[in-house]
């Protein structure tokens, strides 16, 4: 199994506060990998860093063997001024990619709090998810797939997204992220603020996406039990540091994890 995503001792700071300190982890192709931890542990920051939404203070992130984010060089400004080459001798590393460039490589983020386009209809949201897809026939086919996969979205396709329930919005956010046919799906707290039955439902969908669509999934969750049950590899984060890394099945029976995250 090949490594799809490799995170090599990255650090991220918000001003003087270090949100991530030397975090290393990897996601193998085809797996479901979860990262659990308490509120404020730095889980969402990690996902943002992967998508190029937070600059790295140190370390690097690689996707399929290519560096997509690096600390030394500032984000590229390509597309505005064609890059004039690097006369400053930083030829060793290509500059960190912009978020839209990272998305175009096949990474798709379902952000924390869903971040749907509330004033657009469900269908328009899905269209936005396919922004990088140029083939209209493929967009239409993909949308139909999503409506078949999430029937409630098909029923609500002409409705403004703000009128959807939390669970429906979460499904829409996942469907929107799948519109670009990603290879790696990043999920930030898909169960946040939802009823247990709906969380169950969403994790079943995630399972199908992984198994049948061959999408590698990296999910971040506070709900440790369901996340560990749904995943193959698990990481535990505390205060910006990975404190445990193991097979999820092992973490489920780990003394410390049980005490701290599973309430046993």
Partner 1 sequence: MLNFMLLILIYTGIYALMAMGQNVITGYVGLLSLTQAGFLAIGSYTTAILSVTYGWNFWLTIPVAGLLAAAFGVLIGLPTLRLKGDYLAIATLGFGEIVRNILNNWDSVTKGPMGIQKIPMVKVFGYQLSPYSKWGFLALVWVFVIVGYVLFDRLAKSRMGRALEAIREDEIAASSMGINTTKYKVWAFALGAFSAGVAGSLQAVFTLSVTPGSFTFMVSIMVLCMVVLGGMGNFKAVVLGAFLIQFISYFPQLVGLSNVIPPQFKQVLFGLILVVMMIWRPQGILGREIRGYKPSKEKGGKR
Report the interface residues with partner 1, using CB under 8 A: 51, 53, 77, 79-80, 98-100, 103-104, 108-109, 111, 115-120, 124, 127-129, 131-132, 134, 136, 139-140, 143, 176-177, 180
Residue whose CB is less far from partner 1, 36 or 179: 179
**Shortest Å distance, C-beta 186 to partner 1:** 9
Residue whose CB is less far from partner 1, 106 or 234: 106
**Shortest Å distance, C-beta 87 to partner 1:** 20
Residue whose CB is less far from partner 1, 4 or 185: 185
Of 29, 50, 60, nearest to 107 by C-alpha is 50
First to last CA, the chain: 34
Residue whose CB is less far from partner 1, 124 or 201: 124
**Shortest Å distance, C-beta 182 to partner 1:** 10
Whole-number Å distance between alpha carbons of 180 and 182 = 6
Tokens representing 256 are 């410390």
**Shortest Å distance, C-beta 96 to partner 1:** 14
DSSP string, 104-135: HTTEEEE-TT----TTSBHHHHHHHHTTT---
Residue whose CB is less far from partner 1, 84 or 134: 134
Residue whose CB is less far from partner 1, 111 or 234: 111
**Shortest Å distance, C-beta 99 to partner 1:** 4
Does residue 32 contact residue 212 with C-beta atoms inside 8 Å? no
The strand pairing partners of 219, in sequence order, are 34, 187
| Dihedral angle, C-alpha 251, 51, 212, 33, nearest 10 ° | -10
**Shortest Å distance, C-beta 134 to partner 1:** 7
Tokens representing 231 are 């995943």
Does residue 218 contact residue 228 with C-beta atoms inside 8 Å? no
Does residue 96 contact residue 53 with C-beta atoms inside 8 Å? no
**Shortest Å distance, C-beta 42 to partner 1:** 17
Residue with tokens 């098909």: 154
Distances (CA, A) of 135 to 40, 104, 106, 112: 41, 15, 16, 29
Residue whose CB is less far from partner 1, 87 or 137: 137
Tokens representing 192 are 């946040």
């Amino acid at each position: 199994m090949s490594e799809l995503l490799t995170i090599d001792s990255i650090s991220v700071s918000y001003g003087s506060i270090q949100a991530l300190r030397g975090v290393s982890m990897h996601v193998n192709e085809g797996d479901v990998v979860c990262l659990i931890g308490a509120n404020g542990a730095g889980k969402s920051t990690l996902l943002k860093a992967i998508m190029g939404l937070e600059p790295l203070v140190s370390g690097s992130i690689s996707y399929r063997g290519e560096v997509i984010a690096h600390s030394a060089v500032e984000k590229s400004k390509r597309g505005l001024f064609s890059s004039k080459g690097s006369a400053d001798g930083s030829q060793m590393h290509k500059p960190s990619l912009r978020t839209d460039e990272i998305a175009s490589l096949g990474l798709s983020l379902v952000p924390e709090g869903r971040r749907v386009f509330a004033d657009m209809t469900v269908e328009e949201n899905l269209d936005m998810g396919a922004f990088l897809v140029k083939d209209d026939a493929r967009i239409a086919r993909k949308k139909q797939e999503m409506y078949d996969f999430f029937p409630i979205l098909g029923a609500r396709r002409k409705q403004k997204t703000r009128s959807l329930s939390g669970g429906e919005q979460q499904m829409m956010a996942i469907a929107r992220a799948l519109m670009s046919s990603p290879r790696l799906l990043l999920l930030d707290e898909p169960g946040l603020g939802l009823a247990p039955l709906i969380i169950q439902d969403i994790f079943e969908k995630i399972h199908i996406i992984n198994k049948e669509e061959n999408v590698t999934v990296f999910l971040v969750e506070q709900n440790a039990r369901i996340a560990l049950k749904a995943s193959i590899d698990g990481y535990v984060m505390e205060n910006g540091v990975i404190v445990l890394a193991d097979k999820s099945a092992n973490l489920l029976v780990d003394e410390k994890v049980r005490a701290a995250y599973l309430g046993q």
